[in-house]
Structure formats: C-alpha cells, structure tokens
Amino acid sequence: MQPTHRGRAAREFMWGLAAGALYLAAVASTWPLAPIRILYEGEAPPLPYRWVHPPAELSQDNQPPESGTGQIALSLQGSPSTSIVADDGQAGVIFRFGAIASRAGATSAQVKVVPLDPATLPRPPSGLRVDGNAYRVDATYNTGEPVVLRMPMTVVLRYPRHATMLLRLTDETWTTLDAHIVPGSLQIFAGTDHTGVFAAVGPAGPPPAVWVGYAVAAAAVIGAAAAVAARLLRARRRG
C-alpha cells in the first residue's frame, strides 16, 4: 500500500523536529564548556593562549608567554592596594591594602610572576592535569628576605581549555585553593596566604559533558542526513 501524501509530510516533519531537537541539545550541553563565547556581554574573545610548551597542533603559531615584575612601596602600614600582572595578561597577583607586612629596613617589595612548563614540576593529584602554564609568584623585600603576608593575596590565571581548580605547589605538595571561575574570560582566581607555584587544573580526560555533546551533535547530523536521503529516495521513485 502506497503511503499517502499526508503521511509522508508527517514523517518528514517528525524527522526535522527530531534533528532540530538534537541540535539544540548539543548546543545546550557543550556551550558552557566551549573555549570561547562569541558574545559575552560585549567583550571580545580572549587572545590565543601563550604556552611555555605548546601542544604539537598549536606549536606553529604559539607565542612564548611573558613574565611580570613590579615594585611595591612599603609604609608603616605595609603595602598599598596594587596588582602585578604578566605583560601578556595571562597571570597576575592582587594585594589588598596592608597585605604585605612592613619590615625594619625594608622600603619596598619586589614581586615576580614567571611562567613555567608544568612538565618540569611534580605531577598534580591523580585524575587531574595542568591546563596551560604553571606560574611562579615570588615576593621579596628589598633587603632580600621573603615577604610576610598579613592577609591573603589573590592569584589570577588564565587557562586555555577547561580548568576547574586552582592548585598551589609548596615544596613537593599541591594544595587545592578555594577558586572561582570566570568562563567568559577563561580565568580562575583564588586567595592564598603563601607565595609559590600556581596552576589551573582540570580533569585528566575530556569532561563527560563534552563527549555527550559530541554524540548528540553527531546524532543530529545523522538524523538530518537520513531525512534528506529519504526525500531523495521518494523523489526517485516518483520519477
């Protein structure tokens, strides 16, 4: 029995509806995890990430990351509110008023933010990988001694992919900090009461939602292709 025109139209409509639903589901599941957002409250997408040791597929266009250095004047109350940022903007540290304690004979403190290759550092805890560069933050008085923090400083790192945590390395031990993430600018920040080496980290494998999104997107493509193929087949039969 030949299918009616109304039946064919209904099936084509259902194919299209299914494909559209799968596409929207793919976008919804992968959008929060995308490395950039086309529109983010009027802001431009972040510049390409600068790697100390880039992945092979990015090595050709990679630019080396830059360091940041700054002098902070000290008074009897300690340091003023200030920030020291790497020249490429990928890492920085923020000090609140009085965060660096004053010291007899010291008139200033020098702060350095230096990018490091994570491969030269102890591995992060099991199940995690470093997302991007690690950064060493050094702070010393002009007399040569390490600074004393009276209150936490804030470390801000930019990450290239899917960071979920910010860690601090002291000696050979990684410590998890209470971090906050800004997905639109691919930044993660946290307070810390010690200087040291800092790294943004994420799951060792791709986030599960990404694979779900890819699978849903693939299903959407297959569904749309099947709908087109069905229409072409019917057109040939009518011909």
The SS3 assignment for 171 reads coil
- The closest of 129, 160, 167, 203 to 34, measured between CA atoms, is 160
pLDDT tens, position by position, 123-166 = 999 999 999 999 999 999 999 999 999 999 999 999 999 999 99
Cβ 141 vs Cβ 109: under 8 Å: yes
| Structure tokens, 168 | 């601090």
Task: Tell whether pTM > 0.85.
Answer: no
pLDDT at 21 over 70: no
Mean pLDDT, range 212-230, rounded to an integer? 55
Cβ 132 vs Cβ 51: under 8 Å: yes
Region of residue 174 (phi > 0: left; psi between -120 and 50: alpha; otherwise: beta): beta
What whole-number percentage of the chain has pLDDT above 90? 63
* CA 230 – CA 38 distance, rounded (Å): 35
pLDDT tens, position by position, 1-19 = 555 555 555 555 555 555 5
pLDDT tens, position by position, 157-182 = 999 999 999 999 988 899 999 999 99
Cβ 91 vs Cβ 158: under 8 Å: yes
List, in order, residues 6 or more apart from 70 with CB less than 8 Å away. Answer: 82, 84, 110, 111
